[in-house]
Amino acid sequence: MESGKAEEIGLNRAFIVALPSGGFRSGRRRPFPDDVARALASKENLLRLDSLDSEDRGLRDIWETLVLTGRRCTEVLSVRLECISRLNGLPLFWHDQTKVGNFDQAIRIPERLFLRIEKRQEKTVTRFIQHKGRPPTAQERLSLALFPRRPTNREGLKAVSYTWFSSSFRGWIDTLDIVSACVPHQARHTLATNLLKNGADLTHVKRYLGQISNEMAEHYVHLANTDPRLESALQALWVAGPGSAEPGILLSGGEPMTREQAEALAIDLTRQSTPADGGFCTFQPVVHGDACPWNLNCHSCDKFVMSGADLVYWHRKREQWRLLAERAPDSATADYLHEVFEPTARAIDGLEKALEAVGLLDEALALDLRRPQDYFGRVWSTAFRSQELACQQDGGEAA
Ligand code: SF4
């Protein structure tokens, strides 16, 4: 009506005014507020989500995939059985971005999501065997839905519907003590703003999330109002590493220490430290540039400390060890592996407790995608020897 188009085509004003709006609700472009995000990720509430899925169609698996990948709902609902694989050891999630015409796209996913989808695959295959009396062939596996719907789906090709998912999601939200209305798609906005907050640039975000409009990209940048204090708070919280006498003991809470406290600590905790794999080296000769006398064996070294920003790294390590132990050929080997990893497990527990005590645990866990280099490896992993670069430079100048 405003543009004059209605008049031009002779559309009756009364008809336009009477037409229902289509139920647009504001807030769909917003990331989840912190309290809602916490509620939607809490273990207890996720168990409740599980319990709503009486036929075990994968309600929680779909939700966790949405949260961890930031895909559109339909992209996740419609994935096929063979939607995960490993490439050079990295877990990947394969899907079609039908809305923007990108098919068979892969993104890297966290290990725990990979394992969750593997379990879902097993359930879907079991269901297929119950119906058909035989496992699916390799060819059938390519076309089977990972989340098959129940009605009119003898071949298992049709996926659960968006209506089923969104109404189940709404049913779940209604059972939670959440003030704001929320929709699953907000998980995508939450991931986008978290990526930006944690150091990814817009190119990374666009690449990870698939195509996003310029308008949406600007919206994300505007929202990702980073709080540099958070990062430094996480970095300032240190616990003793697995190689120390007391793994997991809190060394620094980001607060100034008393002289007595400082003297009681075995490790020199001046702020001078240097980054190491999964934490910091506090051995001053190394910090000041000397070679490491222990051949960089940091995880067994008592000079190594872990910060709040390294929690997710250690979670991944714990998962790897757990898998290793699970796959051990006998229980003696599994026990041995558990024993070897025990100091590290204690250090991780200590780190979690320390983070929880200062209210930073959620933020530390939310740093899952904090390192864009994990996802967009080439830029970060393409390195050159500085000497060779210098030679090139000399050669260039000589030429
Ligand atoms: S092994 Fe110990 S001293 Fe050497 S770099 Fe690692 S933490 Fe520092």
Top-confidence range, 113-117, 266-270, 272-276, 337-341: 113-117
Q: Whose CA is nearest to atom 6 of ligand 1?
A: 298
State the pLDDT at residue 231.
57
307 pLDDT more than 50: yes
Dist. CA 274 → ligand 1 center (Å):
9
Confidence at 68, pLDDT banded by 50, 70, 90: very high
Best residue among 268, 272, 290, 292 to mutate for probing ligand 1's pocket (most ligand atoms within 8 Å of CB) is: 292
The tokens for 234 are 């996480």
Most confident of 138-142, 261-265, 298-302, 353-357: 138-142
pLDDT number for residue 313: 83
User: Which mutation among 238, 244, 273, 286 tests ligand 1's pocket best, with the greatest number of atoms within 8 A of CB?
Assistant: 286
Distance separating alpha carbons of residues 294 and 283, to the nearest angstrom:
11
117 pLDDT tier (thresholds 50, 70, 90): very high
Comparing 25-29, 104-108, 244-248, 313-317, which segment has the lowest mean pLDDT? 25-29
pLDDT at 233: 62
Query: Closest ligand 1 atom to the C-alpha of 304?
Result: 7
Lowest mean pLDDT, pick from 59-63, 112-116, 134-138, 311-315: 311-315
User: Has residue 169 got a pLDDT over 90?
Assistant: yes
Question: Quick one: pLDDT band at residue 262, thresholds 50, 70, 90?
Answer: very low
Residue 223, pLDDT score: 62
Distance CA 71, CA 191 (A): 10
Tell me, what's the pLDDT at 253? 58
pTM: 0.52
Q: Which of 114-123, 170-179, 197-206, 342-351 has the lowest mean pLDDT?
A: 197-206
Of 227 and 164, the structure prediction assigns the larger pLDDT to 164
What fold characterizes domain 34-184? hpI Integrase; Chain A (1.10.443)
Structure tokens at 328: 């051990």
Mean pLDDT, the chain, whole residue set: 79
For the cut 80, the answer to whether the pLDDT of residue 349 exceeds it is yes
* pLDDT higher than 80, residue 358: no
pLDDT of residue 278: 82
Residue 252: pLDDT band (50, 70, 90) is low
Atom of ligand 1 minimally distant from the CA of 296: 1
Whether residue 388 has pLDDT greater than 60: no
Atom of ligand 1 nearest to the CA of 292: 4
Among 139-153, 168-182, 251-265, 325-339, where is mean pLDDT lowest? 251-265
Residue with the bigger pLDDT between 88 and 388: it is: 88
**Residue 373 pLDDT greater than 60, yes or no:** no
The rounded Å distance from CA 311 to ligand 1 centre is 19
- What residues flank ligand 1, with Cβ below 6 Å? 276, 281, 283, 286, 292, 294, 296-298, 301, 303-304
Let me know: does 69 contact 187? Beta carbons within 8 Å: no
* Residue range(s) of every CATH 1.10.443 domain in the chain: 34-184
- 376 pLDDT band, cuts 50/70/90, is very low
Q: What is the mean pLDDT of residues 250-270?
A: 51
Substitution site in 297, 306, 310 for ligand 1 pocket (most atoms within 8 Å of beta carbon): 297
Average pLDDT over every residue of 44-58: 93
154 pLDDT band (50/70/90 cuts)? confident
